[in-house]
Amino acid sequence: MEKYIFLIPLFPLLGFLINGLFGKKFGKGLISFIACTTIGFSFLVALFIWKDLLALEPEHRVLTQTLWDWMTVGSFHIDLAFMIDPLSMVMCLIVTGISFLIHIYSTGYMWDDESYWRYMAYLNMFVFFMCMLILGANYVVMFVGWEGVGLASYLLIGFWYQGYDNAIAGKKAFVVNRIGDFGFVLGMFLMFWTFGSLSYQDVFPKALEMYEHGALAINSPFMIAICVLLFIGATGKSAQIPLYVWLPDAMAGPTPVSALIHAATMVTAGVYMVARTNVLYTLAPTALLVVSSVAALTALFAATMGILQNDIKKVLAYSTVSQLGYMFIGVGVTAYWAGIFHLMTHAFFKACLFLCSGSVIHAMSGDQDMRHMGGLAKKMPITYITMLFATIAISGLPPFAGFFSKDEILGKAFAFPYYPMAGKFIWLLGTIGAGVTAFYMFRLIFMTFHGEFRGTEEQAHHVHESPLNMTFPLMVLATFSLIGGWFGIPGLIGEKLGGLPNLLEHFLEPVFEHSAHIVSSVAPVPHVPEPLEWSLMSLSVIVAIIGICLAYYIYMVRAKDLPEKLAKEYAWHYQLIYNKYYVDEIYELMIVQPIYYFSVLLWKVVDAFMIDGIGVNGPGWLVKRLSAGARLVQNGYVQTYGTFMVMGLVAIACFYLYR
């Protein structure tokens, strides 16, 4: 079985190569066939491996496959190797499964695009790199996937490059991600330095061994540095404060791309990475505190930014940032499995939401402004119902998927073993965020599907339900938005329902058991009495219902006057939130501009003004000077060049002599 692991990334790669190289000459049917079947095969292989994995004893559920020696640095090897354990299995099923659905959806959504082949090739490339990221058996292979998905995302965001903003958005995503990667690479280097390896199966046992022998204290500076640096990488990829700014702009890409890459899979890579590194994070409580605090802030902050967006996709984008925050809260409070659980349910309902919004945008002939929509429920019933399912799921109402996962996270945050006080605070932020989430999501539903249609006549005439190849994925995903949470029913409810097991937690247990041991040996998990747990659970449901009611009151009952009135009355706040707290502007002013001007300054002062003078006013100036007297120009500049050389020599010589 392990010898088939490589097939999972291989199929999408083949699809990418075939479509990328020859797609221009193929018909659209053939392109779709190649793109969808390759991903479908990957999914099937993943299913078979899953079956085999389940047949093994829980503690032996690790399959590895080494393709070849990739690099050797001294005594240490990096193999091109894949590893499947329960964690990567879950991720792999999510990625290939949802990719398959979204590929099918794309055949409907992108059919009319002139570079359909390019789109499908990019999408397959993305799946290939994503599989590398998940299945890699060491951090370097993960990094390859990490960079690769970044590239694919960049290409797909800028897919409609004719629009100026789209191209800029792609560039922004890439650059911001590179800043995150900087942290990731440094973390990798530091890990290499500390443990002498980058392979999962070397690093974690070694860390445990060092911990047990006392060579590695809990919260040692190295561990904190490694974990925080890796987390910086995750903030880039998974859009957390302060590097979340690229994700809302990334909505410039086609909607299925937003669903697949910028909601369901790629952006969750950071969560996966932290969960994968759980042993190291558990050994560095301070890093966990950083992760969970940043995550809690992001969860609330991004949720508030979603309140006033009018672009349907932007709302969903901020909601993604916020939900990613919840996942990081989960992994940040050592409830790694809960983070992955939320990752899974979020993948279902957020992919569903995006695809529904795509269906709506399709029906509205490309218009994304919710102020032009309204009353679409009657005209597109399937889209409406599926979207409603997903919305209830994200708002966290039982028995939908989001309830179980979000509640698990908040409950675990409340009982954060390392920092109980901080845990309570994180829980508070998260609960408020949940209410805000319910508010803005139902605002979206009400503005889009209820009330009266506010668009043009032409649009009203055009509105229609999408074809089956688009609605089919919606229905599948909506179903999973409902039942997806039942894989991880918390023990408390499970007992009441007649001993329903928590399937996901048990499945993932072997991956996180070492962390659990460390936690229990360091800090006792605070005991939460049953009544308190019940009340916490109901509290979050109540908060969500309050949010929904508020949205109903403002955007349904008094849709005519109240929104405007509020906007006028609280103009200052309104502007602040509407403009997303001006974060983009602040970044531009504080980071982008200084770097650019510093570069220009260096160039002008050091290279151009003092020394060169050539590039500044262009060759025209040079030509003038040359005609004035080439000899003079040459002598002048070469002297300066030479002076610098001599100064350099003198500096080196002085250092050598007077060291």
Inter-residue contact 134 to 92 (CB < 8 Å): yes
**At its nearest, how many Å lie between another protein and the CB of residue 85?**
23
Buried b (16+ CB within 10 A) or exposed e, 408-441: bbbbbbbbbbbbeebbebbbebbbbbbbbbbbbb
Nearer to another protein, 68 or 572 (CB): 68
**At its nearest, how many Å lie between another protein and the CB of residue 67?**
10
Angle at 430 between CA 428 and CA 436, to 5 degrees: 110
**At its nearest, how many Å lie between another protein and the CB of residue 568?**
40
The two three-digit tokens of residue 429, written as one number: 């932020």
Which of 131, 125, 185, 190 is closest to 154 using CA atoms? 125
Nearer to another protein, 143 or 336 (CB): 143
**At its nearest, how many Å lie between another protein and the CB of residue 175?**
6
**At its nearest, how many Å lie between another protein and the CB of residue 293?**
24
Nearer to another protein, 214 or 618 (CB): 618
Per DSSP, the three-state class of 550 is helix
**At its nearest, how many Å lie between another protein and the CB of residue 518?**
26
Nearer to another protein, 10 or 614 (CB): 614
The two three-digit tokens of residue 562, written as one number: 């109240």
Which residues contact residue 439 at a Cβ distance below 8 angstroms, ignoring those fewer than 6 apart?
A: 307, 547, 548, 550, 551
Q: Other C-beta atoms within 10 Å of 564: how many?
A: 10
Q: Can you say whether the dihedral through the CA atoms of 593, 596, 599, 602 is positive or negative?
A: negative
**At its nearest, how many Å lie between another protein and the CB of residue 251?**
16
Nearer to another protein, 173 or 392 (CB): 173
Inter-residue contact 106 to 362 (CB < 8 Å): no
Nearer to another protein, 23 or 256 (CB): 23
Nearer to another protein, 189 or 582 (CB): 189
**At its nearest, how many Å lie between another protein and the CB of residue 638?**
5
**At its nearest, how many Å lie between another protein and the CB of residue 205?**
21
Amino acid at 49: I
Which of 277, 300, 281, 303 is closest to 291 using CA atoms? 281
Which residues contact residue 316 at a Cβ distance below 8 angstroms, ignoring those fewer than 6 apart?
A: 251, 258, 263, 350, 353, 354, 357, 444
**Distance, CA of 570 to CA of 578 (rounded, Å):** 12
Inter-residue contact 129 to 148 (CB < 8 Å): yes
Inter-residue contact 128 to 13 (CB < 8 Å): yes
Greatest Cα pair distance, the chain, in angstroms, is 96
**At its nearest, how many Å lie between another protein and the CB of residue 582?**
24
Nearer to another protein, 37 or 220 (CB): 220
Nearer to another protein, 581 or 596 (CB): 596
Q: Which residues bind another protein (CB under 8 A)?
A: 68-74, 80, 140, 143-144, 147-148, 151, 155, 158, 161-162, 166-167, 170-171, 174-175, 178-179, 181-182, 185-186, 189-190, 192-193, 595-596, 598-600, 602-603, 606-607, 611-612, 614-615, 619, 623, 626, 630, 634, 637-638, 640-642, 644-645, 647-649, 652-653, 655-657, 659
**At its nearest, how many Å lie between another protein and the CB of residue 377?**
38
The two three-digit tokens of residue 296, written as one number: 């809690």
Nearer to another protein, 37 or 115 (CB): 115
Inter-residue contact 423 to 378 (CB < 8 Å): no
**At its nearest, how many Å lie between another protein and the CB of residue 178?**
5
Inter-residue contact 440 to 307 (CB < 8 Å): yes
Nearer to another protein, 193 or 553 (CB): 193
**At its nearest, how many Å lie between another protein and the CB of residue 156?**
12
The two three-digit tokens of residue 528, written as one number: 């939460």
Nearer to another protein, 189 or 581 (CB): 189
Nearer to another protein, 71 or 503 (CB): 71
**Distance, CA of 273 to CA of 252 (rounded, Å):** 26
Angle at 163 between CA 159 and CA 165, to 5 degrees: 95
Backbone angles phi, psi at 68, to 5 degrees: -165, 165
